Amino acid sequence: MKRHIEFKDTQREIHNFRLRLALSLGFVLLLLLLLLARFVYLQAIQQSHYQTLAENNRISIVPIAPGRGLILDRNGVVLAHNYSAYTLEITLSKVVDLKTTIDELAKLVDIQPGDRKRFKRLLADNRKFESLPIRNRLTDDEVARFSTQRYRFPGVEIKARLFREYPYHDQISHLVGYIGRINESEIAQLEEDAIAANYRGSDYIGKTGIEQSYESELHGKTGFQQVEVDAGGREVRVLSRTPPVSGNNLVLTIDAKLQGVAEQAFGNYRGALVAIDPRNGEVLAFVSKPGYDPNLFIDGIDEQSWNELNNSPDVPLNNRALRGQYSPGSTIKPFMALAGLHYNKRTPGHTISDPGYFSLPGSRHRYRDWKKDGHGSVDLFKSIVVSCDTYYYGLAIELGIDNIYSFFSEFGFGKKTGIDMEGEVSGLMPSQEWKQKRYKQKWYAGDTVSVGIGQGYNLVTPLQLAYATAVLANDGIAYRPHLLKEVQSSRISDKRTLETNPESDLNLNSEHLALVKSAMVAVTQPGGTAAKAGAGAPYTFAGKTGTAQVIGIKQGEKYIESKIQERHRDHAWFMTFAPSDQPKIALAVLVENGGHGSSTAAPIARKVLDYFLLGKVPRPLLDVDEAEGVEHD
Amino acid sequence: MIKRRVWQRFVAHLDPVLLMLLGLLLLVSLVVIYSASDGNWFRVLAQMTNILVACAALWIVANMPLHYLMRAALPAYLLGIVLLIAVAFFGEITNGARRWLNIGVTTIQPSELMRIAVPLMMAWYFEKHEAMLTLKNYFVATLLLLLPVALIARQPDLGTAILIAASGFYVLFLAGISWRVILTFLVLIMASMPFAWSTLHDYQRHRIMMLLDPAQDALGRGYHTIQAIIAVGSGGIFGKGYLNGTQAHLDFLPERTTDFIFAVYSEEFGLLGNVVLLSLYLLVIARGFVITANASTYFTRLMAGSITLTFFTYAFVNMGMVSGILPVVGVPLPLISYGGTSMVTLLLGFGMLMSIHTHKKLVQT
């Protein structure tokens, strides 16, 4: 009985067990089907989606920075070039302890606190697996020392990179400018211009001068490499490569030797000089003194050098040729003379009697001539030769500010010349309208009197005056001044020459021009204000001196140069073109606190002309001593 | 003649069908480990060693009569519990979990022992009370299960705890626990979910959250899951080809030779490879069910069923986790992933299955 029941129980038990086993099998099959469904979904239905994700994972686009174009002068002299140098670079993601690594490296190569600071800044801006320089420009010794120890430094490598160099250092610096690391506002600008992609892989961008103005020519086209990367972002292999296209070389209109002569001629003076070929507007020399060494800026200037440059009373960072605004002084007299002839206010033969001062009708205020006792009987020719102020006081009143304004505007006064360099300022050519707007005051006749001798509201830049001189020299046919002569593509010998079409013809009367020009030639000859500078020249050249007052002189007080602080002395101007019959060069020189145009500015111009026309290389210019016979203008 | 007899005795307790299927899966393991380790022969040789050791364990257990196994149940279980308690007090902490016990010579992970000891103990308990199974017996068996599961979950080692709980549940289920109890339990578990959530460690919660939305933390904890799914999905129908998986070979996959080896396999062999693998697993499970169905005693039926279903659970949980339908718990892909301990545990299980199958025959004849 018992056995029977047990047997029966076992039967039922086995039945129950097999039922549950079957259920388990069903459960297993169900879940396996679920897995299968998931696999079909992922691998058949969504395959392309995940394929794309996997490809994006593994393929990374790595930019290859193009080589920057060279900057050359008109004769092929290199003003900015690239050189390859070794850098010591660290890839953070491969380094265990950064501080120890750098400390150890410092025992092999020279690593200054500044290098560490710079590296920290780079780290903050870049991704972990990028290789970043801790030291640039390693010496051969340092390379050798590191190479023998490199097994100790995983993640540290020596790499060859291209560096920009300006071989002329503080010469030509204001013209060529410099490049520097791209900053955030520049990135924003690049993005706005939709060219940010072309700067992936580029660390530098032009900041000033030609480097800035022709950034798009110089930069080149960034190449790309498709590389397979692993999860750590490390390159595994290169899949495809689009090579970069190097930036174009720029041939400038500048003559580096002429520029050098001009810079040297300044000696220790501050100032600016712009020389233009009046026949086509090519800028031959573009000097702003003092200069600075643009090489300092490339990898971020160190604090000490920056403070020295930025706090210097000489303001070496100011591009005086382009941005310095000065009273034109007597240099405007030839233009005033032309205006007088043009508006029939003066004839060549018309003479005035100069008592040494000018007064407006009904006023006792005396506008003094620089020559206390006056020049006696003065006609137009003489007014330029001796730089008679009284002649132009009266002429200015007769012309009126409106005529002066419109005539001078034709010569580019108060307007940007449109030179191909960024940052130009427009100077100032005052008008009634301007004064109303600026000072909410009406224009007085006295204002016109001051404007007439270039000591009023009017301001010019050395570039503007050089341009106006070139227009005058070229008989009123104006060419826009420009610095770029030719663009050379690095790929093939594909050259682009810049168009130099006349911008405008002022339609000046040739007799008027001839008279004024002959008077300007007389300026450089015995009896003229620049006779000393013109002495012994085997060519004839036209010129005009000028003085820009830095401080005002009270009525009845005499300007005595030796009694005035150096920084308060007048600025000296000289404008000239040569040879006078067929001008090949027109230039304007400004010497800050140089006193008189005749003693400081004109000799500089003479050296430049001597070199340009005769190939004469001057001896270092001696400091001009005020004591040696001052000629007023 | 003698040779043949020795050979016959050698293979007498092995099941040729199961052996062939296991051999195929182990071959796949070596092939995939070679790829997953970027052609590292040492890894492959090490896995071969694991397999050889595990096969020896399989042969020994397969040749062991079942009453030996039954006798081992209680001591193994008690030893396991003692060790787990020892771990709780003196265990070494690695990665924030206390799982290992230093016994002087080496360190051991007592939870591994429990993978087999727990179902063994439960099956033995039911066998003992086979004559009159009452609700009380099921209750006691449940306690026998919950004690080690709780200790392991506390370590914390949620993956192992869940798998041991599953293996114990299979014993209970096959032992005939009433549907009503199962349902009550399910309801209780559902109701206690919020409470359970509050007792979970942060990283465990995170893993569960990650399952729900891995993209939420694509570069953090979800990264592994996402990269594994990308690997599987990008494999497509035919796979990228052996040794050509980009996700695997460019380091995008974590733990490529162990927990995530399925992603490597799936990327290189595609949907077709997956179907082959699923089929192999299904055949192993089917063979396990045949053995279970034909087992002669209550103990062996429960044991065989639990071993088979636990094997399936391992495979399902691992593939589910890699393909993103289950949270990431540290469960290797059975018979494929690199690793000695799990290989030995698994082949021990199959050794038992073979012992159950062959000793029954011998008893009958």
H helix or E strand, kind and range, residue A224 = strand A223-229
Every domain of chain A and the residues it spans: 2-45, 61-252, 256-484+500-614
B45 interfacial to chain A (CB closer than 8 Å)? no
pLDDT for the residue B214: 59
Extract the tokens encoding A572: 């000296």
pLDDT for the residue A6: 46
pLDDT in tens, A303-350: 788 888 888 888 888 899 999 999 999 999 999 999 999 999 988 888
pLDDT of A553 over the 60 cut: no
Count Cβ atoms within 10 A of the Cβ of residue A479 and give its class: 0-12 exposed, 13-18 middle, 19 or more buried: buried
Counting as low any pLDDT under 70, the low residues of chain B are 1, 95-96, 103-107, 207-208, 210-221, 361-365
H helix or E strand, kind and range, residue A285 = strand A282-289
What is the 3-class SS of A53-98, one letter each residue?
HHHHHHEEEEEECCCCCCEECCCCCEEEEEEEEEEEEEEHHHCCCH
What is the 3-class SS of A168-221, one letter each residue?
CCCCCHHHHCCEEECCHHHHHHHHHCCCHHHHCCCCEEECCHHHHHCHHHHHCE
Write down the residue that tokens 């304004």 correspond to.
Answer: A405
Report ipTM (2 d.p.).
0.92
pLDDT for the residue B239: 93
pLDDT of A30 over the 70 cut: yes
pLDDT in tens, A583-595: 999 999 999 988 7
Give Cα A164 to chain centroid, integer Å. Answer: 16
Q: Which residues contact B73 (CB under 8 A, 6 or more apart)?
A: B117, B120, B121, B123, B124
Q: Where residue A373 falls among pLDDT bands split at 50, 70, 90?
A: confident
CATH 3.40.710.10 fits A256-484+500-614, yes or no: yes
Contact B50, B343 (CB under 8 A): yes
Q: How far is B340 from chain A (nearest CA, A)?
A: 26
Burial profile A168-199: b = 16 or more Cβ within 10 angstroms, e = fewer: bebbbbbbbbbbbbbeeebeeebeeeeeeebb
| DSSP state, residue B324 | T
Please give the order of strands across the beta sheet that includes A223-229. Answer: A59-64, A223-229, A235-242
B320 interfacial to chain A (CB closer than 8 Å)? yes
Q: What is the pTM of this model?
A: 0.66
Chain B residue with minimum CA distance to A55: B246
Contact A93, A235 (CB under 8 A): no
Q: What is the DSSP string of B275-303?
A: HHHHHHHHHHHHHHHHHHHT-SSHHHHHH
- Partners of residue A49 in chain B, C-beta under 8 Å: 233
Please state which of the four CATH numbers 3.90.1150.10, 1.20.950.20, 3.90.1310.10, 3.40.50.300 is assigned to the domain occupying A61-252: 3.90.1310.10
Residue B101 dihedral angles phi and psi, to the nearest 5°: -120, 130
Contact A409, A471 (CB under 8 A): no
Report the DSSP beta bridge partners of residue A179: A206
Chain B residue with minimum CA distance to A237: B250
Choose the mutation target among A2, A29, A42, A234 for the interface with B, i.e. most B CBs under 10 Å: A42
Contact A119, A62 (CB under 8 A): no
> How far is residue A605's CA from residue A585's CA, in Å, rounded to a whole number?
11
pLDDT for the residue A468: 94
Nearest to B298 by CA among B137, B81, B111: B137
A57 interfacial to chain B (CB closer than 8 Å)? yes
Report the DSSP beta bridge partners of residue A164: A82
- Partners of residue B275 in chain A, C-beta under 8 Å: 36, 39
pLDDT of A208 over the 70 cut: yes
> How far is residue B296's CA from residue B303's CA, in Å, rounded to a whole number?
11
Contact A569, A560 (CB under 8 A): no
Q: How far is A224 from chain B (nearest CA, A)?
A: 21
Give Cα B135 to chain centroid, integer Å. Answer: 29
Burial profile A8-19: b = 16 or more Cβ within 10 angstroms, e = fewer: eeeeebeeebee
Residue B336 has a CB neighbour count (10 Å cut-off) of 29
Write down the residue that tokens 């090579």 correspond to.
Answer: A243
A236 interfacial to chain B (CB closer than 8 Å)? yes
Burial profile A244-267: b = 16 or more Cβ within 10 angstroms, e = fewer: bbbbbbbbbbbbbbbbbbbbbbbb
Write down the residue that tokens 């209970």 correspond to.
Answer: B172
pLDDT for the residue A625: 37
Average confidence score pLDDT of chain A: 84
* Encoded amino acid at B127, one letter: E
pLDDT for the residue B220: 54
B229 interfacial to chain A (CB closer than 8 Å)? yes
Q: Are residues A36 and B275, on separate chains, in Cβ contact within 8 Å?
A: yes
- Partners of residue A5 in chain B, C-beta under 8 Å: none
Q: Are residues B274 and A39, on separate chains, in Cβ contact within 8 Å?
A: yes
> How far is residue A236's CA from residue B45's CA, in Å, rounded to a whole number?
27
Which of the residue ranges A191-200, A493-502, B164-173, B228-237 would you say has the lowest mean pLDDT? Answer: A493-502
Q: Is residue A409 annotated as part of the catalytic site, yes or no? A: no
A18 interfacial to chain B (CB closer than 8 Å)? yes
> How far is residue B276's CA from residue A39's CA, in Å, rounded to a whole number?
12
Contact A633, A455 (CB under 8 A): no
A232 interfacial to chain B (CB closer than 8 Å)? yes
> How far is residue B215's CA from residue B225's CA, in Å, rounded to a whole number?
9
H runs (alpha helix) in A367-481: 380-385, 389-410, 432-439, 445-452, 462-473
